[in-house]
Copies of this chain bind each other. A is one copy, B any other.
Amino acid sequence: MLRHVQMTQGFPNCIGIGVLGYDGVARAHIHGYTRIRDVFGPEAPLPRLVSVCGRSQDKLTKAALRYGFEKYTSDWMDLISDDEVKVIDNCAPNNLHSEVCIEAARHGKHILCEKPLGRNAEESKRMLEAVQKAGVKHMVSFNYRFVPAVMLAKELIDAGKLGKIYHFRARYCDDSLVNPETPFAWRMDKELAGSGVVGDLGSHIIDLARFLVGEFKAVSAMATTFIPERPLREEKGKRGKVTTEDAFTATVEFQNGAIGTLEASGFCPGRKNFNTFEINGSKGTIIFDLERLNELEVYLDDSSEPTVNGFRRVMTTDPSHPFCRYWWPTGHIIGWEHTFIHEIYHFLRCIKDGEDVGPIGATFEDGYKCAVICDALLASAESHQKVDIS
Name A's B-contacting residues (CB within 8 A). 1-5, 7, 9-11, 28, 30-31, 34, 37-38, 41-42, 51, 60-62, 64-75, 78, 82, 152, 155-156, 161, 166-167, 169, 171, 173-176, 178, 218, 220-222, 224, 226, 247-253, 257, 259-261, 263, 265, 267-274, 278, 280-285, 290-294, 297-301, 306-315, 317-318, 320-321, 328-338, 384-386
Contacts and interface: CB of A to CB of B under 8 A. Distances in A.
B78 A2 contact: yes
A contact patch SS:
mixed
A308 B298 contact: yes
A346 B358 CA distance: 42
A317 B61 contact: no
A334 B331 contact: no
A375 to B, nearest CB: 18
B269 A281 contact: yes
Nearest to A220: B220
Contacts of A251: 220-222, 249-251, 261
Nearest to A316: B307
Contacts of A265: 166-167, 280
A38 B31 contact: yes
Contact of A272 (B31, B271, B293, B317): B317
Given A65-B10, A70-B5, A249-B259, A307 B333 contact: no
Contacts of A37: 66
B51 A67 contact: no
